[in-house]
Amino acid sequence: MLEETSNLVEILTKRALYQPEQRAYTFIQNGELESGSLTYQQLDRQARAIAAKLQSYGAVGKRALLLYPPGLEFISAFFGCLYAGVVAIPAYPPRPNQSINRLKAIVTDAQSSFALTTTNSLANIEDKCAQYPELALLNWVNTDKIDNKFAASWQEPKVNNNTLAFLQYTSGSTGIPKGVMVSHGNLLHNCRDLDLGWKHTENSVIVSWLPTFHDMGLIYGIIEPLYKACPCYLMSPLSFVMKPFRWLQAISRYQGTHSGAPNFAYELCVRKITPEQRASLDLSTWCMALNGSEPVRADILKKFAETFKPCGFNQNAFCPGYGLAEATLKVAAVRHNHAPNLYRVRSDALQQNQVEEITSEDNSQILVGCGWSEIDTKIVIVNPDTLLKCESEEIGEIWVSGKTVAQGYWQRPEETKHTFQAYIANTGEGPFLRTGDLGFIRNLDLIVTGRLKDVIIIEGRNHYPQDIELTVEASHPGLRCNSGAAFTVETNGKQRLVVVQEVERSYLRDINIKQVIADICQSVATEHDLRIHRVVLVKTGSIPKTSSGKIQRKACRANFLNQTLVPLG
């Protein structure tokens, strides 16, 4: 049915025509009770009604901000935009006392004309709308108040493979958010790649708590299930974070086959799910467990597999992957039912951007392979300074080309040229997408080592901040996981290492700060042969992160230099 399909509007209209009563999406309120569902026919009708309303407002061709809490209303609004020929901008309603600088930056950059939301969400942010001109000038539309009778006046838009579907604003881990232009063709091509690698069928069951305003939650949690006509069960990210058991409980209850999350989620499950809760789980149907972190940690895979093996979890279900918004979603991933490859390499060679595989555990670390592409995506490793291809034993920047690469950054021609139109210096081969990530290739297996701009260089040696951060958090039980930042500052003409680390809330009252700092310094000296210039211990929730949970090292460094961090003690 999809062979001649060029866009998502055609897919949904065909699903509604040929599979009208099939349940497409089910939302699990609080991660435990079903609060609603959508069949393809219901979704199609709601999308037509929203689209007709937008068309009546003259919104065709314009940008619309989507500000929805987790739930089915977002899905209807997203497809309503596609049905109207409106460019969707997935976002999230600002929480009370939360800065809206990112939201204002998106509205300004995208030149948004409309904002779609629910009645309750709008009531909660009306004060902010009045305070900020960027929000006050938007045309606000409460889509939950649109009557389905408007569906009859819908005019089918002119949509093709190259039509812009939505703007995916980057999470801002390395700078100001930029709008990645993702076309219908990009999405269908990426879905096909996902489909081939992970063997979805109409009997597959996808379970997701990932935020739908990010690429993985939107594309794998919403678009891929539509592409393959398999049911998807959704819950809010907060439901998972508050009680990680809910995620695995949903997989067990609905016999989920495909589900994914970043490293921290698997680690949280190991730490927070009790033996009594584990005894109630059946994870034997879970055949594809995506780990989409950069880089994927081997110790997390091992701990999770060992902990949940009695529940029927098969470690071969792990499918580590690598991707980014600029490539729509997936660049590479381990295939279904293929165990990920592990590579033990010399740590000191890694510091010199060299890859030397060894068998000894001394002076080594384990890296996880992220597989390959299933279709036309080409991946090369390039020296970011000379723009020449690296030798097989060298670490370099990951460059990508193919139909999955997005169209560029919205209204940013110079940045688009730099990032999306790179060429190999001596051959002119290209254009390639410069990912800003570092890695190497072994036997059609991509191994990601870190981000180019985050690499710490001290006395001529390269250190990956995530390795130092991992050592720090493991040095004392009172330090919070995935909540530290390592970076350098210049002092007397030399680069010095600074570590900022959150303390677990339960340890705040009684922690011995001097002893914890001593433990941190000793661990980093032992593991990395580095002396720490400053250690700053801060309260839980102090480290700046993106909305997807990535550490904002640049922002943390700025806070350190501006002396806006509030240290404990």
CA distance 412 to 422: 16
* 231/173 same-domain check: yes
In a domain, 401, yes or no: yes
pLDDT > 70? residue 171: no
Two tokens, residue 568: 């404990």
Q: Is residue 276 part of a domain?
A: no
Q: Say yes or no: 380 and 360 in one domain.
A: yes
Longest CA–CA span in the chain (Å) reads: 71
Share of the chain above pLDDT 70, in %: 98
How far is the C-alpha of 150 from the C-alpha of 51, rounded, in Å? 9
- Do 179 and 43 share a structural domain? yes
- DSSP letters spanning 197-223: HHT--TT--EEE-S-TTSHHHHIIIII
Give the residue, 99 or 272, on which the prediction is more confident.
272
Q: Which residue has the higher pLDDT, 555 or 378?
A: 378
Q: Predicted confidence band at 549 (pLDDT cuts at 50, 70, 90)?
A: confident
pLDDT one-digit tens code per residue, 293-334: 767 889 999 999 999 999 999 999 999 999 999 999 999 999
Q: 């949509």: which residue's tokens?
A: 159
Any domain includes 333: no
Structural domain harbouring 387: 338-453
Same-domain status, 34 and 70 = yes
Residue 173's pLDDT is 46
Q: What is the C-alpha to C-alpha distance for residues 257 and 287, in angstroms, rounded to an integer? A: 5
Looking at the structure, do residues 132 and 204 belong to the same domain, yes or no? yes
Q: What is the DSSP string of 145-183?
A: G--GGGGGG-------TTSEEEEEE---SSSS--EEEEE
Whether residues 65 and 206 share a domain: the answer is yes
Selection from 324, 317, 213 nearest residue 266 by Cα: 317
Average pLDDT over residues 446-471: 86
469 with 387, same domain: the answer is: no
Domain membership flag for residue 283 = no
- End-of-domain residue from the set 453, 471, 499: 453
Does residue 350 lie in a domain region? yes
Mean pLDDT, the chain, as a whole number?
92
Q: What is the pLDDT of residue 294?
A: 66
Residue 213 and residue 232 in one domain: yes
SS3 string, 504-529, reads CHHHCCCCCHHHHHHHHHHHHHHHHC
Residue 569 belongs to some domain of the structure: no
Q: How confident is the model at residue 174 (pLDDT cuts 50, 70, 90)?
A: very low
What would the two tokens of residue 330 be? 């997936």
Task: Check which CATH number belongs to the domain holding 114 and give it.
Answer: 3.40.50.12780
Domain end among 453, 473, 493: 453
The percentage of residues in the chain with a pLDDT greater than 90, rounded to a whole number, is 75
Please give the angle made by the CA atoms of 471, 477 and 478, to the nearest 5 degrees: 105
User: In whole angstroms, how far apart are CA 240 and each of 249, 258, 320?
Assistant: 10, 17, 20
Q: What is the pLDDT of residue 257?
A: 98
Which is more confident, 330 or 125?
330
Read off the pLDDT of residues 353-403 as tens digits, 9 standing for 90 and up. 899 999 988 889 999 999 999 999 999 999 999 999 999 999 999 999 999
Both 554 and 436 in a single domain?
Answer: no
Residue 422 clears pLDDT 60, i.e. is over it? yes
Task: Count how many domains the chain has.
Answer: 3
Q: What is the CATH number of the domain that holds 346?
A: 2.30.38.10
The CATH number of the domain holding residue 472 is: 3.30.300.30
> Which run of H or of E encompasses 242?
helix 237-242
Same domain, residue pair 78 and 197: yes
Rounded to the nearest angstrom, the gap between the alpha carbon of residue 515 and the centroid of all alpha carbons in its chain is 36
- Same domain, residue pair 471 and 343: no
Is there a single domain that holds both residue 419 and residue 487?
Answer: no
The pLDDT, as a whole number, for residue 1 is 53
**pLDDT at residue 547 greater than cutoff 80:** no
226-235, 298-307, 548-557: lowest mean pLDDT where?
548-557
Asked if pLDDT for residue 509 goes beyond 70, the answer is yes
What six digits make up the tokens of 462?
A: 């390269």
Q: Which of 441, 195, 268, 467 is closest to 341 using CA atoms?
A: 441
pLDDT over 90 (residue 545): no
In a domain, 214, yes or no: yes
Q: Which of 72, 351, 436 is nearest to 232 (CA)?
A: 72
Of the residues 188, 223, 242, which one is the last residue of a structural domain? 242
What's the average model confidence in pLDDT over 540-548?
82
Rounded to whole angstroms, how far apart are CA atoms 497 and 32? 45
